[in-house]
Structure 1
Amino acid sequence: MPSNEQRREAAKRKLERQLANRAERARKRRIFGVVGTVVGVVLVVGLIYWLANRSDDPTVDPAASTAPSEPPADQVATPANIPTELAAVPKRPTALPAKATCAYPVEEGKPASKPAQAPPTENVSAEGTVGATIAMGSGDVKITLDRALAPCTVNSFVSLAKQGYFNDTTCHRLTTEGIQVLQCGDPSATGSGGPGYSFDDEVFPEIKYGRGILAMANAGKNPQTNKGTNGSQFFIVYGNAELPPNYTVFGSVEAESLKKIDEIAKAGTVSKGAPGDGSPKNPVTIKSVTVA
């Protein structure tokens, strides 16, 4: 029979073994916990990287890929219907003075996408119209610029055209649903490029948009200055366009020329983000813009 001393020693050794086993189990749990955390972090980082590198921007350059492939048929959106009736060009309820003073401040942090000089700012005519031709790959698109509607906008557009700013640029955006417009005038073809300067809106509540209207694209009001963000990007309305009167109308497109825009629209847009809003399936290039 074991003595009391022997029983105490046996109990002590048993306790030491239990403590050692408990410590080993705790160590393994910590190791498994660390491994699980690392795996989780790797999965999260991978997911973030994948999301960050998705190309959902509706203004991605259609020529950005060095080896473009035919987009899936269900990704190409075409207009269900294009109205044929021209919209009436808006008229100001009150005529502007014959001469306007314009401002084209430099946009801080937004260098010009292509070298350009701001136009003159004093004694800008607010009377009459100017004819111009946009030479596209699909043919000439004839437009009429209306100084009485938007003298500062016409002044800028004519200046940029004479500087060759629009030459060899891509119309980066085509919409076929909701609104039906072709957007051009950004040499970077990203939807964020401009001439390095901006100018204010020339709008009024009575403005309506529809087939044949030529208007300026913008990014809303500049939060720092509360001024307009017009630059060089413009859009041609070839069909429906239920828009608020926040976009400067500065001219119109000839009826016959709109048929060329219709063909571009019928070829479809490669949707990126919203359905029916993306880059034209068939790239649209402006060769030049000449002013009469």
Structure 2
Amino acid sequence: MTKEQERARARRRQEKLDAREAQRAREAARNRQVAVVVAAVLVVVALFVVLANVMGGSDTETAGGATPSASASAAPSASVAGCKPAPAAPKEITPMTLPDPKTAAGKTFEATITTNCGDIVLALDGAKAPQTVASFVSLAGGDYWADSPCHRLTTAGIFVLQCGDPLGGAGPGPGYTFGIENAPADGSYPKGTLAMARTSDPNSNGGQFFIVYDDTTLPTEGGGYSIFGTVTAGMDIVEKIAAAGVAGGAEDGTPAAPISILEVAVTEKKA
């Protein structure tokens, strides 16, 4: 083999080596591009999940004008003495009709809320809040609250247990709304007060109500919150639910110890 042939053979070997090296470089570059695209997709998916969690909450009727925090979606985790397992919440609400306030005007009633933790007894004042009491009596008679969870507890600044939505805070209400009655001008709601929850709309009273388990001051802007009764027995039940705290350890959200309304019985008190 001549020297010229050897040099030609060497060039061919080098060209093959250069071609293989170029191919490896192209493959490495393609792999890096794929990795960048995959990482970008994962970032977009993560951002979507975060935004979905942040924006996924729904407005509810509230006491004090506050919106339940993210902890409101946390699952109940505690149990307290004397409580049986809470029933499954209803899946739908049957709309009802707003009753005539005259059915409760000037009258007083006793209501017994039977819960999975025991009975809470209320005195309802139809003289001071006839429309509110008429609505409460009507909803009780229609079994509107059967098996409905008390979906909100607040433990800082505002001390209330909020109940009355069969769907656990995300429901549409009983099919009607009405305005404010008998709201204190100074925003004072003593322990044992029974009052209506609402949105920022003063005419949004419906089926949700709250029980004050420690003296509380609520905003008066927008008209305050309708007081329509007091707790006369069973406050210890509310207090032990409050003592168990909020699910997830927050100050406003789902009670850690589940409590649900099983039924509500109302009788008129005769003079």
Bin of the TM-score, shorter chain as denominator length: 0.5 to 0.7
8 Å contact 1:133–1:140 — kept in the other structure?
Answer: yes
Q: Which residue of 1 aligns with 2:240?
A: 263
Which position in structure 2 is the counterpart of 1:248?
A: 226
Among the aligned pairs, what percent are the same residue?
A: 40
Q: Which residue of 1 aligns with 2:108?
A: 129
- Identify if the C-alpha distance between structure 1 residues 59 and 216 changes in structure 2 by more than 3 Å, giving closer, same or farther: farther
Paired residues for 1:121-200 under 5 Å: 121=100, 123-200=102-179
How far apart, CA to CA, are the structure 2 residues paired with 1:119 and 1:61? 33
Secondary structure in 1 matching 2:180: coil
CA distance in 2 between partners of 1:122 and 1:150 (Å): 9
Given that 2:248 and 2:256 are in contact with CA atoms closer than 8 Å, whether structure 1 keeps it comes out as: no
Residues 61, 46 of structure 1: alpha-carbon distance in 2 compared, 3 angstrom cutoff: closer
What's 2:192 paired with?
212
CA gap 1:204/1:236 in 2 versus in 1, 3 angstroms: closer
What CA distance in whole angstroms lies between the structure 2 residues aligned with 1:152 and 1:164?
18
RMSD over aligned Cα atoms: 3.1
Q: 1:191 to 1:212 in 2, by over 3 A?
A: farther
Deviation at 1:126, TM superposition (A): 2.5
Correspondences of 1:31-50 after superposition (within 5 Å) = 36=36, 39-40=39-40, 42-50=42-50
Higher helix residue share: 2
Contact 1:172 1:279 in 2 (8 A): yes
Contact 2:74–2:247 at 8 Å: present in 1 too?
Answer: no
The 1:123–1:49 alpha-carbon spacing in structure 2 relative to 1, beyond 3 Å, is same
Per the normalisation by structure 2, the TM-score is: 0.68
Give the 5 Å matches for 1:67-146. 70=77, 113-121=92-100, 123-146=102-125
TM-score (norm 1): 0.63
Change (3 A) 1:122 1:261: closer
Could you tell me which runs of 5 or more consecutive residues in structure 2 were left unpaired when the two chains were aligned: 1-28, 58-68, 79-90
Structure 1 residues 193-220: Cα deviation after superposition (integer angstroms, max 9, x where no partner): 4112211122352452120000111111
Cα distance in 1 between the residues matched to 2:174 and 2:204: 11
- Measure, in 2, the Cα distance between the counterparts of 1:268 and 1:158: 30
